[in-house]
Structures are given as C-alpha cells and as structure tokens.
Amino acid sequence: MTLSDRTVPAPSAPRRWRGLLVLLGVLGLLGYGWWRSGVGVAILQQSVQPKVSPLPQDPLIQVYFNQSQAATYKEPYRGIERLGDDLEAIVVEAIAQAQRSIDVAVQELRLPKVAHALAERHRAGVTVRVIIEDSYNRIPGQQQGRMAAEDEREQTRSEEFLALADRDRNQQLSPQELAQHDALTILRNAGVPLIDDRADGSQGSDLMHHKFLVIDRRFVVTGSVNLSTSEVHGDFGSPESRGNANHLLKIDSAALATVFLTEFAQMWGDGPGKRPDSRFGLKKPYRPPQMVRLGNGSAVMVQFSPTSTGLPWQNSVNGLISRVLNTATQRVDKALFVFSEQAIGDVLQQRQRQGVKIRTLIEPSFAYRSYSEGLDMLGVQLPDQRCRFEPGNAPWRRSLSTVGIPQLPEGDLLHHKFAIVDGKTVITGSQNWSAAANHQNDETLLVIFNPTVAAHFEREFERLYETAELGVPAWLQQKIQQEKERCRLNR
C-alpha cells in the first residue's frame, strides 16, 4: 500500500495552516544554509554574462584581472559562476606547458590546483624549484591534526584553510585531505624542492614578498596576486567575496626571464642543501633597474627591492617609481594597497602644480591612517597616538577631490599596486609604495611601456573609480577634530 492509499483524517484548517507555516520555516532555514554554502549563489548566477567586451591583448604581455567585467568563470571551490579572469587557471595552464624548468618565488602558495600542476611537472622530469615566505611555510593553524587559532589573522587563515581542505567537515584534517588539498603537503609528497627565507641562516627576511614564476627560462608570470583562495577567488566565510582585487601578467621574453632568474638564483643558493649561501633581503647586493626590449617595440624595466638606506633614495625602487611619475604630462591614475612614501607624494604634488590630473584609490583599511599619503592629497593630516605627524608631512594646499576608497564586495581588499602614467606607461609589481617595501622586503617592480597593456589597467581603474567614495568623509573630519582636541589636552 502506498502512502496515498492510506486513510488519513483531514486536519482542521488551523492545524493545516500551522503545518504549512512550520514547513515553510524549515524550508527557509534550509534555503538560507543552502544560499550561504554558495550553491544557491551558483544556481542564481548560472546566466552571468560579461558586462563589457574584452580588450585586445598584446601577444607578448598579457594581463588579467580577477574582478574583470569582460570575462566569466566558474569558481572551482564554491561553484560560483562569476565575473572575472580565473587567475588560478591561468597559472595552472602556464605551468602545464613547461618542458624544462619552473622557478617559483611567491609569498604564499595555498592553491591546490597550482600545487598539483607543479607536482605533475616535477614527476614528468621538469626541474621545479619553489621559494616561499617563512611565515607561510606551514599548514595554517595546524596543531596535532587540529586547527588552532593563534591570533585573529591566523584564525582567519585557519578557517579559510579548513573550509578548503576539510572535505568531510569533521573539523580535523586527515592525511588524505592534506594530500589532496594542502599545497605544501602536495609539493612535499611529490619531492618538489622548496625553501623559505630562513635558508640564509636567519629567522627570515622582513617579507619575502615576491610573486613570480619563470617557466622554461622564457615566460614570466607575475603581478600583485598571492596564490591563495582569498586572493584569487574569494573568502569562504563571505559568499559575496570575489577575491582581493588583483592582477596577473604573463610576459613572453627570454631576456626578462633571465633578469628574474638572476634574482631567484641569489635567493635559492644551493636550495635545500646544507650551505648557507641563500641571500634574502639586504644580504643581496644592490640591483639597479634593467631595461628589456621586447620584439613588438614595447619595453619593460624591472628592479628588485630592498635597497639599503645607505644608498641614495633615488637609486631605490621607490625612487624609480618617483622618476616615472615625474615624466607625467597629462594624468596619473593609481590603485594601491598602501601609499605611505612621503617622497613619492611630494613628486605627485609637484606634478599637480604642473597641471597633471591625479586620481588615487587606496585600500580602505590603509587609506586614512596617520601615515597615509592619501591624507596629504586630501589636504588633511591626522596625528598618531603620540600626537606626532609623519616626518616631512605635507598636506596639499590644492587638495584633491579625486582621492578615495573603492567599494568592494564584503571581505575583499584592494590589493593592486599599480599606476598608469599618461595612458601609456604602467607601474606594477609586488612592491607597495612604502618604506618597508623599499628598504626591507624582497620585492619586484615593473615599468611597462606599452599602451595596449596600459588600456587594460586603465579599464580596471575606471571600474573601481566609478563607484568609489571620494574626498574626506564626514567621520574622518570628526576624527581629526577629536584627535586635535586629545592632543591639545595632553600637552
């Protein structure tokens, strides 16, 4: 007998409605969980379409953005159909094409698909070498097989990694889960040689902040992006997140690859061998800018940090940034994670006085700090906790209304470090515009002289600028007054 054949008394009308309401409530809770899991988002976004047409790519310098409006892809971990270039897939494809060698120097490597691709090439006989930053050379929060938070930042990393690797959702990571989803375990199980910046005998440089791969001594893959899920695809704890705003370049140039390999060789030394001949940070000698001409008439200038404070500042990477900015005759557009180098701000003010139009977007968590050059451009200043201003602080007399912060999906950061000069020259790389990046960290800076590449960065800037919050927000004006009063009372 089927359920429909059974004789069941019909419920009274009130009971019928109560039952219906309970059912709707259960379905609502299930639906919310379904939505938060990303599955609902994926289904509702099945029909997502590019909002703009793709721009032409230069055959030798290709550029991609994970929040691009000209492309779509299905994010592999949450199943979300979304706008953007799949930066992980681009890296994996470049690795898969390697026939001879792959040299990797990245601050963070957490993407399992990238690790599997490196392991596969290593097993196929390709020479693979990997350098990462020492603080990322461990499983996030791993302690006796369980995730344990050390601080707020580490807790976030641990939660993200647990969401990625804990496939049976038992709050533990099995050897099998690590072997499939932890990038470091994947590389170690395959026997891929790997070191971090403690290989020079130190406790690690300030930051091994490079973000580059060199493939077959010909292709350079680099940009602003770290190889992690939150940097590329988005935060698992925030369904709205689409990854920190980042970009990736793939450059076809054996000459440029040689420059990067020279930097890599200094850090690698004998790799995981026993000789302390690796050189990180200021242990490396000064490396001046090098210009590489490409076959299509464009050029790339590259320089690596850090630079000793004992050398003239103009010889440093931030000095190179200032020299390129000083060539501007029409406009400078910038999208920066951090902007705290006073000398660069001073150069921009001089350019403004010469009639150059300047627009600037800064990551919201850094834009309004006391040391931010964003405050200078807005014509205001904010004392620090000791009631002091940054040395040489110089608020602009002709303050700008074209400086502000982007509106990004919840959980995402503005992680770009680029500027476009006169619509034809791009400054980019891993280097933040700060003294720490300039004098302490292992960093990369590229100056690309190519209008086709510049058009891609200009489109990304305009996308961010279109909805940006510009000028001095009311809450900041109020805070400035409060801090002035606090400092007056504490004198």
Query: Do the strands 194-196 and 247-252 form a parallel or antiparallel pair, or are they unpaired?
Result: unpaired
Cα–Cα distance, 403 to 362 (Å, whole number): 8
What long-range pairs does 272-279 form, CB within 8 A, spacing at least 24? Answer: 272/193, 272/194, 272/195, 272/199, 276/199, 276/200, 276/201, 278/195, 278/197, 278/199, 278/200, 279/200
pLDDT digits (tens, 9 = 90+) for 163-201: 999 888 998 899 999 999 999 999 999 999 999 999 999
Give the pLDDT of residue 462.
98
Residues above pLDDT 90, as percent of the chain: 79
Bridge partners (DSSP) listed for residue 245: 414
- Cα distance between the two ends of the chain: 89
CB atoms within 10 A of CB 372: 22
Query: Do the strands 299-305 and 290-293 form a parallel or antiparallel pair, or are they unpaired?
Result: antiparallel
Q: Given this chain, do its domains 61-139+182-268 and 288-489 carry the same CATH topology?
A: yes
pTM of the model: 0.89
| Domain range 288-489, CATH class | alpha beta
pLDDT confidence tier of residue 26, bands split at 50, 70 and 90: very low
CB atoms within 10 A of CB 172: 13
pLDDT digits (tens, 9 = 90+) for 198-213: 999 998 878 999 999 9
pLDDT digits (tens, 9 = 90+) for 299-330: 999 999 999 999 999 999 999 999 999 999 99
pLDDT confidence tier of residue 45, bands split at 50, 70 and 90: very low
pLDDT digits (tens, 9 = 90+) for 85-113: 999 999 999 999 999 999 999 999 999 99
Cα–Cα distance, 233 to 241 (Å, whole number): 8
pLDDT digits (tens, 9 = 90+) for 120-134: 999 999 999 999 999
pLDDT confidence tier of residue 490, bands split at 50, 70 and 90: confident
Give the CATH number of domain 61-139+182-268: 3.30.870.10
- Asked if omega into 473 is within 30° of 0 (cis), the reply is no
Cα–Cα distance, 74 to 83 (Å, whole number): 9
- What are the sequence ranges of the domains in the chain? 61-139+182-268, 288-489
Cα–Cα distance, 67 to 49 (Å, whole number): 13
Detail the DSSP E strand segments found in 30-120. 61-65, 72-74, 81-83, 101-106
Stretch among 13-27, 70-84, 433-447 having the lowest mean pLDDT: 13-27
Give the pLDDT of residue 142.
61
